[in-house]
Amino acid sequence: MRHTRPGFTLIELLVVIGIIAVLVGLLLPAIQKVRETASKAKCQNNLHQFGVALHLYHNDREGFPPGMLSSQARVTDADATGFTCLLPYLEGDTTYRLYHFDKPWFDRSNYDAVGISIPFFFCPSNRSGGFIELDAIAAQWNTQLPPRAACTDYAFCKGANAALTLDWNSTPVEVRGAFDIRPLDGRRIGVRMAEIRDGTSSTIAMGDAAGGSSRYLARDLRRPDQPVINVLTGVPSPLDQSWSAAGAGDPSHPFYGSVFAVTAQYGLAPDPRDEPMNRRPGTPTVASGDPIGDNSRGRDWVSGFRSQHTGGCNFLFCDGSVHFLHESISPATYRALSTIAGDEVIAEGDW
């Protein structure tokens, strides 16, 4: 007698496969949502650590660090950044001791320091590490640079004005942010708490600046809807910035971000030239020598805040609190939150 083994018919097998496919289709978005929620929370914790460091620095020196420090004649050749100043307060004392503040970041004595990757300087929704390779630009300019500079996914808020000037007092007070460019000296002090007239709880200190992502290619400043072609590679470049490499790009290299981000390029009436959150393609940071310091002629550009989080970015405020702001925020409110002394009235619930 022949016995048949029980099994699935072809139709039953197809039904089972279909059910599994449906379940996977339902579960994957939920899993991705859980992962993004965890990454977003970790990003907020990174910013919280920056907040603690900023307040410790302020307690010690009676002021926040400048966003950028320069002893150079041009902003494109600045010496150090606010991230470098904060290293001792971010469990980065070893890296800090390697850094020579009496020399610019691109001096040979600083090669080892600027190439050190610091894990929590990266947003987990974007990447776990990254470097800007500098050999090509060093060869183009026939100069010596470190082989590479470690990156970051966060930026200091420069306010609602992109003027990249060594004279921070020339930028109108109502559009200044909590971080600017200061001369390189032993004090390394920028904005003080007392100067934040708009209140520390409603003033942005830092925020997301996702780097190295094909989602945020650098845009062509002459054709805002098109990515610019990197003259060193022949292809579009993702915006990126280093925590250690100070300075800004120039008009012939408009494909880098910087340690700064803004909410507007001018910030004043009649046309603030708003820089929306998560703009694509992204605005590069370019110093073109604004002659006045208020960027009224539109010669300087600074990148905007951007992230891989859905619908907005994480921000650290000057009181140390961290908030998620939606990219649908009104431009006026966004500008107001980025300035330290604009005296704007922000209605409850606006953000």
- pLDDT tens digits, 172-188: 999 999 999 999 888 89
**Does 251 map to a domain?**
yes
**Does 19 map to a domain?**
no
Question: Across all residues in the chain, what is the average pLDDT?
Answer: 92
pLDDT digits (tens, 9 = 90+) for 242-287: 999 999 999 999 999 999 999 999 999 999 999 999 999 999 999 9
The pLDDT of residue 26? 74
The residue type found at 116 is I
For 128-148, letters b (16+ CB in 10 Å) and e give: eebbbebeeeeeeeeeebbeb
Query: Is the confidence at residue 156, as pLDDT, over 60?
Result: yes
Sequence-ordered list of residues with C-beta below 8 angstroms from that of 192, at least 6 positions apart, any chain:
58, 62, 63, 64
**Does 11 map to a domain?**
no
Nearest alpha-carbon partner for 45 in 114, 99, 106, 125? 125
**Does 214 map to a domain?**
yes
Place of tokens 């390779």: 133
- SS3 category, 171: coil
Phi, psi of 206 (to 5 degrees): -145, 170
Phi, psi of 301 (to 5 degrees): -135, 145
Query: Is the confidence at residue 338, as pLDDT, over 70?
Result: yes
DSSP state of 77: G
Asked if 152 and 243 touch (Cβ cutoff 8 Å), the reply is: yes
* Residues linked to residue 181 through DSSP beta bridges, in sequence order: 68
The pLDDT of residue 113? 95
Average pLDDT over residues 6-12: 70
**Does 226 map to a domain?**
yes
Residue 223, H or E segment: strand 223-227
- What does the alpha-carbon distance between residue 152 and residue 147 come to, in Å, rounded to a whole number? 17
* Residues linked to residue 194 through DSSP beta bridges, in sequence order: none
DSSP state of 284: P
Among 76-80, 126-130, 191-195, 333-337, the range scoring the smallest mean pLDDT is 76-80
**Does 179 map to a domain?**
yes
- What does the alpha-carbon distance between residue 312 and residue 321 come to, in Å, rounded to a whole number? 17
For 182-204, letters b (16+ CB in 10 Å) and e give: bebeeebbbbeeeebebebebbb
- What does the alpha-carbon distance between residue 261 and residue 177 come to, in Å, rounded to a whole number? 10
**Does 79 map to a domain?**
yes
The pLDDT of residue 348? 66
**Does 345 map to a domain?**
no
% of the chain residues with pLDDT over 90: 76
Domain that holds residue 260: 41-338
Q: Residue 168 has which token pair?
A: 């921070």
Query: Is the confidence at residue 28, as pLDDT, over 70?
Result: no
Q: Is 19 exposed, middle or buried (0-12, 13-18, 19+ CB in 10 A)?
A: exposed
Domains contained in the chain, number: 1
